[in-house]
């Protein structure tokens, strides 16, 4: 599996808080069959998680030191929260695309749909970024309106579903929403979004089993290997 959404770096968000916790998570990912992982620490200024381009080198130096060759092959990235500062972050080239790509992982706000959402997404795209929308099943203001899902896909945005939603780890509501998106063929990527080693079993392993029940082995490969590989520009065979 190629996991494009993972909180592997330590001490920078609500993921691991020590090198040891990162090591445990990396080992659990490998054991679950994850070969490549994007380290998508939160970039969320309201919570003082400022994992922008300026700190990437330090984050990855620390990870290299703690992990060495332990765990999957690591890629840079961030989970960019869509707030009023994100456009400026993108304009100042402080967004963090996956290594050697122009793809960024984007998290929408939870409470209400941002006014002019499509316009904001279009403006970010106009700056040269391609957008992968994180755990799209978690936003009822989108998922309760199937035409909005279609509008996002038709506009060229890629939708990511959390495997943990499919396994029911976040509750029935998100499970049903995730199943609908997957069954409708609207997801481009399924990912782990693990924050600690203990997440790997319920999110990735049980999530992969749930995905397999919906789409079979070929669907699992498409959403967790082939299409993530397309985004990273790596060999997904």
Instruction: Choose the stretch contacting Fe ion; rule: CB under 5 A; options: 51-59, 151-159, 164-172, 185-193.
Output: 185-193
Rounded to a whole number of angstroms, the minimum distance from the CB of residue 5 to Fe ion is 6
Number of residues that bind Fe ion (CB under 5 A): 2
According to CB under 5 A, which one of 3, 21, 79, 179 is a site residue for Fe ion? 79
Q: Rank residues 65 and 111 by Cβ distance to Fe ion and give the closer one.
A: 111
Measured from the CB of residue 132, what is the shortest distance to Fe ion in angstroms?
A: 12
Closer to Fe ion by CB, 137 or 193: give it.
193
Residue with Cβ nearer Fe ion (5 or 24): 5
Q: Which two tokens stand for residue 190?
A: 């399924």
CA angle 4, 116, 135 (to 5 degrees): 20
Interface map 88-117 toward Fe ion (x if CB under 5 A) = ------------------------------
Residue 134: is it exposed, middle or buried by C-beta count within 10 angstroms (0-12/13-18/19+)? buried
**Residue closer to Fe ion (CB basis): 4 or 215:** 4
Long-range interactions of 178-183: CB distance < 8 A, separation 24+: 178/137, 179/214, 180/143, 180/146, 181/136, 181/137, 181/143, 181/149, 182/211, 182/214, 182/215, 182/219, 182/223, 183/214
Residue 4 beta carbon to Fe ion: minimum distance, rounded to whole angstroms: 10
Contact (CB, 8 A) for 207 and 196: no
Among 193, 203, 208, 220, binds Fe ion (CB under 5 A): 193
Backbone phi, then psi, for 155, in 5-degree steps?
-80, -5
Name the residue nearer to Fe ion (CB basis): 147 or 174: 174
CA nearest to 153, candidates 144, 142, 163, 166: 142
Nearer to Fe ion, 3 or 193 (CB): 193
Half-sphere exposure (Cβ direction) of 210: Cα atoms closer than 13 Å = 26
Query: Of the ranges 76-84, 86-94, 150-158, 212-220, which one interacts with Fe ion (CB under 5 A)?
Result: 76-84
CA gap 16, 14 in Å, rounded: 7
Instruction: Give the residue at shortest CB distance from Fe ion.
Output: 193
Residue corresponding to tokens 């989970």? 79
* Contact call for residue 21 and Fe ion (CB under 5 A): no
By CB under 5 A, which span of 15-23, 116-124, 176-184, 190-198 interacts with Fe ion?
190-198
Q: Which residues bind Fe ion (CB under 5 A)?
A: 79, 193
């Amino acid at each position: 599996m190629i996991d494009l959404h993972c909180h592997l770096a330590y001490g920078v968000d609500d993921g691991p808080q020590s090198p040891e916790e990162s090591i445990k998570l990396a080992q659990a990912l490998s054991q679950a069959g994850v070969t490549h992982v994007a380290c998508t620490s939160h970039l969320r200024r309201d919570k003082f998680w400022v994992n922008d381009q300026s700190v990437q080198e330090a984050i990855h130096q620390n990870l290299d030191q703690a992990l060495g060759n332990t765990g999957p092959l690591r890629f840079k990235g961030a989970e960019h929260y869509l707030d009023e500062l994100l456009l400026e972050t993108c304009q100042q080239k402080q967004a963090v695309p996956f290594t050697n790509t122009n793809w960024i992982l984007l998290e929408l706000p939870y409470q209400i749909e941002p006014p002019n959402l499509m316009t904001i997404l279009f403006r970010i795209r106009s700056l040269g970024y391609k957008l992968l929308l994180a755990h799209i099943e978690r936003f009822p203001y989108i998922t309760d309106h199937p035409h909005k899902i279609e509008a996002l896909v038709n506009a060229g945005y890629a939708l990511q579903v959390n495997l943990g939603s499919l396994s029911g780890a976040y509750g029935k509501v998100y499970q049903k929403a995730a199943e609908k998106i997957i069954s409708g063929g609207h997801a481009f990527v399924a990912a782990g979004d693990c924050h600690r080693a203990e997440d790997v079993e319920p999110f990735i392993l049980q999530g992969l089993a749930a995905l397999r029940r919906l789409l079979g082995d070929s669907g699992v490969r498409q959403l967790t290997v082939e299409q993530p590989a397309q985004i990273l520009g790596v060999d997904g065979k």
